[in-house]
Amino acid sequence: MKSAAALSAALLLSFSTTAAAVEASASDFARQKFDFLVVGGGTAGLVVAARLTEDPKITVGIIEAGAYRPGDPLIEVPQSAVAPSNPNGKPLIGNPDYDWKFESTPQPGLNGTSLPYSRGKVVGGSSAINFIVWQRGAKQEYDLWSTAFGNGPRWSFAGLLPYFKKIEAWTAPPKSPLTVAVDPSAGLAGAHGTKGPLAISYNNFQTSIEQPAAQAGINMGLKENFNPDLGDNFGFSNVARSVHPTKGIRTYAGNSYYTPNAQRKNLVLLTGAEVTQVVFATSRKGITATGVKEVILSAGSIKTPQLLELSGVGNKQLLSKYKIPVVLNLPGVGENLQDHAFAGQDFRLKPGAVTLDNLNFNATFKAQQQELFNSSGKGLLSWTIPIAAPVTLQSLIGTTETNKLVGSLTQSLNKIKQTPLQKVQYKAQLALLKAGEVPQLNLIVYPTGNFVSAAAPNTSYVTMTIMEVHPYSRGSVHIGSAQPLAAPIINPDLLSIPYEAQILVKAQQFSERWMASQPVGKLVVGPNAPSAAVISDAEWESFVRTHTQTINHPIGTTAMAPRAMGGVVDPQLKVYGLQNVRIVDAGIFPLTISVPIQQTVYAVAELGADLIKETWGIKA
């Protein structure tokens, strides 16, 4: 059952009476007058709302389509998201109570398959359902945001660093057990903040795999990195996680930016309500969202472009096709979708190895781990993926092979009719690729089966996955109907460029050598899926193209770049051509980064909140 309503004249809403508790009753919410309306109570939206309402005179209303689920163990016990087969029954990812459960269009680069596209639909957004990995990109990647797209020094690594710190209540890694050693002289503490809302910590439990896997990788020439958070993130480090250090629970925008501030009189959350349109008035002053100082769109990189198009802001040809009156022709909306492709293979381990699989087949072990988690917040239930090693292509296959692949890539790119944005992006990306300092792949070691293939009974596995971090494919997300509650059409166009599959093939072959080398090799029986019979590049490519997924990092669909280049927002995050609408979410990244993106989304939101405060002279 759905019903519709108008709100402060600025937004149209549709209520889902099937969603759980509405925090503010819809009629109360509609009666109030807000200074700012935030669309989407997700990762970025809750940061903005929390920061603006530090000033008690400023009123903020948040509209979130999902429900508020404080203390929900499915969200808070890290294992619910991290284990691919959750032994507790109900899944988190893919569960319609938490996930929009979108699907991509059939992907030509993936033998025509459609991919599941998860997006959080709950207070906290995707930070409530993600895999909890907490990583920071390389300095050069943020510096490109600042220079190549003319966004200025605040969007450089140095400009963002105070905002990375502002998020964090960071706890240093324990002395042991750890994936790699800790070097106190590396200055890790100096890269982190300790007074922010979001508790960040490190694993306190090791499976049988991470130490020997890291050691074997280091022996193969991939370096140890004692401080990946000051701009050089290459190699093996102890990967941080958005988990509370003593409670062991997931920390996310919901329990860290909203719950502690829920009592603020000037912060009002409406749940179970989907914004279907931003209502604009056009006058001599320009195009204005009516009734408020500003509307902040934080519906994420998939839903924000859809909402703009439904509201008449986008490519005018596309809008006309669906008979939506054009408020503003802004053809960059929904274009430039970049996502991280994710491919893996699994290896069978010898009996006695301890991985996530053991929770499934050893009831004694599971009960011990549950008890450990309940009593101390420690152990495998609060454990997260410990190795995510960003590496250059040269470090995996050498300079000669890399240069050959760069040659094939350059030829492919020359055949594309490039947009002005692509021209700038490709030039910058190729320069980074050739210089060989900024990672092109992130090697993620996932000690479990059931991801690439179904686990056999009583057997443990390691799945070696690879995240391709600097794609050249560009996709899009657009409305496919004027019906506001329909899902948008999502096409990331993964692996559309041969080079993208080629480097995944090379990385898979590297993983196979890696798992055969010591000290990890002695734990491994051998390749499981694919079998050891997959050897040639062609065989591997067929496997890669039929097993690649998205790791759920879509960005760029409302890029922060000059309007003439195809950008949608300016360096103030204001939408070009609109008087009082900003976008604060993952869609504004002009170019993606070498790591999972949540930390950067939070930093974008912290800086975005400051930009709004500066505009309106808000002090606190």
Ligand X SMILES: Cc1cc2nc3c(=O)[nH]c(=O)nc-3n(C[C@H](O)[C@H](O)[C@H](O)COP(=O)(O)OP(=O)(O)OC[C@H]3O[C@@H](n4cnc5c(N)ncnc54)[C@H](O)[C@@H]3O)c2cc1C
Residues that bind ligand X (CB under 6 A): 39-44, 63-66, 93, 118-121, 125-127, 129-133, 274-275, 298-301, 303, 307, 552-553, 585-586, 596-599, 601
Pick the binder of ligand NAG from 368, 410, 411, 536 (CB under 6 A). 368
Q: From residue 377, how far is each of 244, 246, 248 by CA, in Å?
A: 9, 6, 4
Q: How far apart are CA 605 and CA 12, in angstroms?
A: 24
Which residue, among 74, 53, 49, has the nearest Cα to 63 in the 3D structure?
49
Q: Least distance from C-beta 253 to ligand X, angstroms?
A: 7
Residue 542 binds which of ligand X, ligand NAG, none (CB < 5-8 A, kind-dependent) = ligand NAG
What is the chain's Cα-based Rg? 23
Annotated ligand binding at 313? The verdict is: no
Task: Provide the minimum distance between the beta carbon of 497 and ligand X in the complex, in angstroms, as a whole number.
Answer: 23
Q: Based on the residue annotation, tell me whether 553 is a catalytic residue of this protein.
A: yes
| Cβ nearer to ligand X, comparing 130 with 203 | 130
Closest approach of Cβ 552 to ligand X, in Å? 3
The backbone torsions φ and ψ at residue 507, rounded to the nearest 5 degrees and listed phi first, read: -70, -35
Between 9 and 367, whose beta carbon lies closer to ligand NAG? Answer: 367
Q: Tokens for 479?
A: 């409305």
- Short-list 139, 191, 186, 144, CA closest to 163: 191
- Cα 547 to Cα 209, 382, 530: the distances in Å are 23, 28, 10
Q: How many CB atoms lie within 10 A of CB 322?
A: 15
364 binds ligand NAG (CB under 6 A): yes
Which among ligand X, ligand NAG, none contacts residue 371 (Cβ within 5 to 8 A by kind)? Answer: ligand NAG
Q: For ligand NAG, which is the closer residue by CB, 110 or 268?
A: 110
Please tell me whether 520 is known to bind a ligand.
Answer: no
Shortest distance, CB of residue 460 to ligand NAG, whole angstroms? Answer: 9
Minimal distance in Å, beta carbon 252 to ligand X? 8
Q: Is the peptide bond before 91 cis (omega within 30 degrees of 0)?
A: no
Residues 433 and 461 sit within 8 Å (Cβ to Cβ) = no
Strand partners, 294: 36
Which among ligand X, ligand NAG, none contacts residue 127 (Cβ within 5 to 8 A by kind)?
ligand X
Residue 457 binds ligand NAG (CB under 6 A): yes
Residue 485 site contact among ligand NAG, ligand X, none (CB < 5 to 8 Å, cut-off depends on kind): none
Position of tokens 């062991």?
248
Half-sphere exposure of 408 (CA within 13 A, CB side): 12
From the list ligand X, ligand NAG, none, partner contacted by residue 458 (C-beta under 5 to 8 A by kind): ligand NAG
- Residue linked to tokens 């005179």: 57
CA angle 175, 598, 302 (to 5 degrees): 160
Q: State yes or no: residue 27 binds ligand NAG (CB under 6 A).
A: no
The interface partner of residue 601, options being ligand NAG, ligand X, none and the CB cut-off 5 to 8 Å by kind, is ligand X
List the interface residues with ligand NAG, window 501-560 (CB under 6 A): 542, 546
Which CB atom, from 402 or from 552, has the smaller least distance to ligand X? 552
Least distance in Å: CB of 120 to ligand NAG?
23
Q: Which residue of this chain has its Cβ atom nearest to ligand X in the complex? A: 42
4, 6, 158, 367: which one binds ligand NAG (CB under 6 A): 367
| H helices, E strands: number in the chain | 17, 26
Residue 546 binding result from ligand X, ligand NAG, none, given CB thresholds of 5 to 8 Å by partner type: ligand NAG
Nearer to ligand X, 275 or 529 (CB): 275
At closest approach, how far in Å is the CB of 539 from ligand X?
30
Q: Pick the closer one to ligand NAG by CB: 73 or 212.
A: 73
The minimum distance between CB 353 and ligand NAG, in angstroms, equals 9
Nearest one of 441, 571, 611 to 156, comparing CA atoms? 571
Q: 74 or 586: whose CB is closer to ligand X? A: 586
Phi, psi of 2 (to 5 degrees): -125, 145
Among residues 186, 365, 401, 579, which is the contact residue for ligand NAG, using CB under 6 A? 365
- Residues ≥6 apart with Cβ < 8 Å to 174: 202, 204
* CB contact set of 251 (below 8 Å; sequence gap of 6+): 198, 199, 200, 242, 243, 244
Q: What would the two tokens of residue 169 be?
A: 């209540």
Q: Is 122 marked as binding a ligand?
A: yes
293 contact partners, CB below 8 Å, separation of at least 6: 35, 36, 580, 616
Query: Given the DSSP bridges, would you call strands 168-170 and 198-200 parallel, antiparallel or unpaired?
Result: parallel
Separation between Cα atoms, residue 105 and residue 332, nearest integer Å: 20
Tell me the closest approach of the beta carbon of residue 103 to ligand NAG, in angstroms: 16
Exactly one of 176, 194, 458, 536 binds ligand NAG (CB under 6 A); which one? 458
Stretch that binds ligand NAG, among 38-46, 129-137, 274-282, 357-365 (CB under 6 A): 357-365
Does position 111 interact with ligand NAG (CB under 6 A)? The reply is yes
With respect to ligand X, which residue has the nearer C-beta, 151 or 459? 151
Which residue(s) pair with 113 in the sheet? 107
Could you tell me which stretch among 97-105, 272-280, 356-364, 380-388 binds ligand NAG (CB under 6 A)? 356-364
- The site partner of 586 among ligand X, ligand NAG, none (C-beta below 5 to 8 Å per kind) is ligand X
Residue of 147, 156, 171, 370 interacting with ligand NAG (CB under 6 A)? 370
Q: Is 275 annotated as a binding residue?
A: yes
Query: In 279-404, at which residue ranges do the beta strands (DSSP E only) sit?
Result: 280-283, 286-289, 294-297, 313-314, 328-329, 341-349, 387-391
Q: Is 131 annotated as a binding residue?
A: yes
Catalytic hit among 470, 478, 547, 553? 553
90 by DSSP, 3-state: which? coil
Q: Is 247 in the site for ligand NAG (CB under 6 A)?
A: no
Sign of CA dihedral 28, 33, 39, 45: negative
Work out how close the CB of 530 gets to ligand NAG at its nearest, in angstroms, rounded to a whole number. Answer: 11
Within 10 angstroms of residue 284's Cβ, the number of other Cβ atoms is 4
Which partner in ligand NAG, ligand X, none is near 40 (CB below 5 to 8 A by kind)?
A: ligand X
Half-sphere exposure of 64 (CA within 13 A, CB side): 35
Q: Is 206 in the site for ligand NAG (CB under 6 A)?
A: no
Q: Which residues bind ligand NAG (CB under 6 A)?
A: 111-112, 361-362, 364-365, 367-368, 370-371, 374, 457-458, 542, 546
Q: Binding site for FAD: which residues?
A: 122, 130-133, 275
Which residues are annotated as catalytic?
Answer: 553
